[in-house]
A and B are shown apart, each in its own frame.
Chain A
């Protein structure tokens, strides 16, 4: 045990957890990393490519190495950073990317052959044969170079999405963030303080300083307590702001239950928040960077600030003999903190020349660490003092190459950061409007500087909102930060830049040698910064090494683009509740409950659930039900719910003129009490939609659209009305949900309806294509004598709330006629038998002429799409035409998706003569029938062609016929 005194952990409670099956203990406040370090576990993982033994490197979300698989079963999660995972009682963690065990990993052999595995190795080696790419090479490489594994089980937990609004969003609860939130909160602003950590304070918890004459961590606790009591402040811990979006919208994930074995009943695992905040401060602190030197990746080599954090916050020292390697003052502060904790600081290796020496510590100036030893954990370091070498036995080394302002969020909108020589790092610049950087994130590295910039930002925001926000700064450390940049120590072996993706200084050199010198090329060639940590610790180091090679400045070399998310976001929380049955809402038709009672089979049509067919007792196969529904309808009468068709009420003195402009055919001449089939085009001349529109009064029409286009047609009509002809007196409203509508079709349709409708609906009173407002037992209803099936047919509509009553009344009245209720399959069979076009034919690339409806396009007026439908190529005589297709041998089963070919033509694209659009079994005719688009189809009636489907392996001889298979003269529907 290497626990020391102090720390922000609750020693009164002991938690048990396992790592690779072995039991360990922890305390509340521990992370997986701190608890393992406390148990002297340094080896925590294997590297991505070389399978090098790795330990923890950082104490935060930037961790590249200590990635673990946590939990089991459906909750198993790979690539969990041990440095941020809170230990709960019973936690189970597994190391990753090793076999058979972490200490002995067979693929550690990769490390011996490292010269073969340099950057670009895969691109150069696994090129031939091409068919091996996906079949052989990729699976092998993926197995060898890997991270954790996904569980194959369903995630048992729920995830939520939520929306929040604030005057000021504060991102990060370190000194700058706390001070900003406090200043704004005291002034009464609505403040959200989001912090990725479970304990607010940031570096105040990691360093043994003082603020306002108390310990810095104590000041953080007191400040949080005051914030919690302020009525307009919302504290959100375990909440990572991962993305900055346009106009003050921020994405954040709150890990509600990640610190528990399982969510408390009724709670979610995580919540995705969309935060609207016109002002935000980025108080995200700074991330310490490593220095590259030979074998700088051994377990026990850490960032100096992380060593300091483990000692102060978690009371853990990851070694008995510690050394610090630094190029800046913060490394010295870390050494002093550790020494004050009673840790044996063997030496401070300071790359800078001259200057004062630390008292009571072996402080070497102008020295470098040049190599390390220890296979599974650090045992010693070799230092170089101007040519004089010495080996020190140490088991922990803290490295500080300086600090990078954590500016990713600010640069997500592609602005390039500024270079600051003073701190040898990039500082944020020109971020999105409303977002400003404060504290260390802005390059203010002293505690007082951070407090001041946080308070100052909050005061400015308050002022912008017309409020005063005075503040008094607490007493705090205000030391200058001095750094003399050192990036890479020259060496003969390998020095790591990006530990997670195993990118070394040599790889950067190779990239330079092969002319991939731009940082974006460097990234893609070496995979620098492409791992799950997105290069938080290594990116700048890699750019700096490249800058040394090219002789350019680091500023000119630049940084790669920052993109959301800041840290990995689970797909579960992005999906939220939208999964399984709740993936999208369902719309139920008015007959849904009745149909469900009857055991109907439903089909999704857009968001609607429609009855697909209604099986009867003894029917085991869908075709039995569909054939029965079709035959019974054609023989007597069938009922179908057609509520899902779009219905649009169109009113106003210009309603008729308006319809003339949105339909290719004419509606202003339609008599009151009549319906007409309408064809709507897009401006490019292709058919957009079709449907029947009825004239209920001189200035009142009701349009129907296809189910699929109900929304887009309405949007189009609003566009025409508002943008094109703004002064037309025409009002529209969607009434799709307002009316329940049923089709009643078949020779006995009139007799059935006559039993329900109060008025005379004889052929004389309501002829074909007539419509009327009627009553059913006194209830207002609309009746339209229109037909999709080709039978004598009506559509009857009542206010939607009576839809359930009407289906039951229709079925009851239909008993005398052996009426059936039919679903969308039977509907489809009958419309193909009748030769009506539907979705398969209205495919967005077909004109009225293609559909055989060319005569409907009136050239006497200007309507949307009419002019461009007259383009030469669209009028080609030998273009595609809608035809009917039937097999020469009635026993042949044509396949959907088939193409047409002339007899004797090879089945190649040049010989394509068109394709089959809709295929059904016609129980009436006793064989398959189809519709299709055939080249020059109108002139090829009676021709025998081949219906070929290369995927299904069918090649069937068929005859081209009229698309009207049933009742071509239309005698039935006029009956």
Chain B
């Protein structure tokens, strides 16, 4: 697979480490056990469009949010996870 890195262009997926659902960005800081449990364990597993975290470990160390169709492997876009996190209102 090729991942369109927003800064570096098309990069081979072998350079990346996959982590999973980008919903992990929405960590409920300071949440109770039930909230953190839902955050950590209850994930969607769609056959189709999926936003997921990839880490450019053998590259510039950027965490990316890649939008991928899990049924076809088509990649619809990639953003810096930091930008996605900020857009969700995360800061410090």
Contacts and interface: CB of A to CB of B under 8 A. Distances in A.
Nearest to B85: A726
B53 A723 contact: yes
Given A724-B90, A725-B90, A868-B33, A248 B85 contact: no
Contacts of A684: 40
Contacts of A718: 55, 61, 63
A728 B92 contact: yes
A719 interface: yes
Given A718-B55, A867-B31, A723 B85 contact: yes
B19 to A, nearest CB: 7
A862 B82 contact: no
Interface string A715-730: 1001100111111100
B78 interface: no
B32 A723 contact: no
B46 to A, nearest CB: 18
Interface string B43-82: 0000000000101010001110000000011110000111
Contacts of A657: 92
Contact of A726 (B57, B74, B82): B82
A870 interface: yes
A867 B92 contact: no
B57 to A, nearest CB: 6
B27 A724 contact: yes
A723 B24 contact: yes
Given A249-B2, A715-B17, A726 B36 contact: no
A728 B36 CA distance: 22
Contacts of B24: 723
A832 B49 CA distance: 50
Interface string A725-740: 1111000000000000
B73 A247 contact: yes
Interface string A858-869: 000010000110
Contact of B1 (A247, A413, A715): A247
Q: How large is the interface on A (under 10, 10 to 19, 20 to 34, 35 or more residues)?
A: 20 to 34
A657 B86 CA distance: 19
Nearest to B17: A715
B1 A246 contact: yes
Nearest to A274: B12
B92 A715 contact: no
Contacts of B72: 413
Nearest to B65: A723
Given A247-B73, A722-B63, A723-B53, A870 B33 contact: yes
Nearest to B4: A247
Given A247-B73, A249-B2, A715-B55, A725 B33 contact: no
A654 interface: yes
Nearest to A654: B92
Interface in A191-250: 245-249
A684 B85 CA distance: 21
A862 B19 CA distance: 23
Interface residues of B, number: 34
A683 B53 CA distance: 16
B9 interface: no
Given A246-B1, A247-B73, A715-B55, A723 B40 contact: no
B32 A719 contact: no
A723 B25 contact: yes
B14 to A, nearest CB: 9
A114 interface: no
Contact of B81 (A245, A711, A722): A722
B interface, by DSSP: helix, strand, loop or mixed?
mixed
A723 B82 contact: yes
A525 B27 CA distance: 50
A724 B17 contact: no
A689 to B, nearest CB: 17
A862 B32 CA distance: 10
A726 B86 contact: yes
A780 interface: no
Given A719-B19, A867-B36, A726 B2 contact: no
Interface string A409-420: 000010000000
A723 B61 CA distance: 12
A365 B85 CA distance: 75
A871 interface: yes
B62 A722 contact: yes
A362 to B, nearest CB: 54
A245 B57 CA distance: 22
B62 A727 contact: no
B81 to A, nearest CB: 5
Contacts of A722: 62-63, 80-82, 85
B92 A727 contact: yes
Interface in B1-43: 1-2, 17, 19, 24-25, 27, 29-33, 36-37, 40
A246 B73 contact: yes
Contacts of B30: 862
A186 B44 CA distance: 50
B90 A726 contact: yes
B33 A871 contact: yes
A868 B36 contact: yes
Nearest to A865: B36
Contacts of A433: 74
Nearest to B32: A867
A245 B75 CA distance: 14
Given A727-B91, A867-B32, A247 B2 contact: yes
Nearest to A658: B92
B92 A868 contact: no
A878 B33 CA distance: 21
Given A247-B73, A722-B62, A727 B53 contact: no
Interface in A837-879: 862, 867-868, 870-871
A276 B33 CA distance: 47
Contacts of B33: 867-868, 870-871
Contact of A683 (B32, B40, B74): B40
B19 A248 contact: no
A247 B75 contact: yes
A728 B32 CA distance: 23
A246 B36 CA distance: 35
Contacts of A719: 19, 53, 55, 63
A657 B92 CA distance: 10
Contacts of A728: 92
Interface string A802-834: 000000000000000000000000000000000
B32 A724 contact: no
Nearest to B68: A246
B91 A726 contact: yes
A295 B82 CA distance: 69
Contacts of B91: 725-727
A446 B85 CA distance: 58
9 contacts: A654-B92, A715-B17, A719-B53, A719-B55, A722-B82, A724-B25, A724-B29, A726-B86, A871-B37
Given A248-B2, A683-B36, A724-B90, 11 more contacts: A247-B1, A247-B2, A654-B92, A657-B92, A718-B55, A723-B85, A724-B25, A725-B90, A727-B90, A862-B29, A867-B31
Listed from nearest, the 4 A-B pairs whose CB atoms lie closest are A247-B2, A727-B91, A726-B82, A246-B1
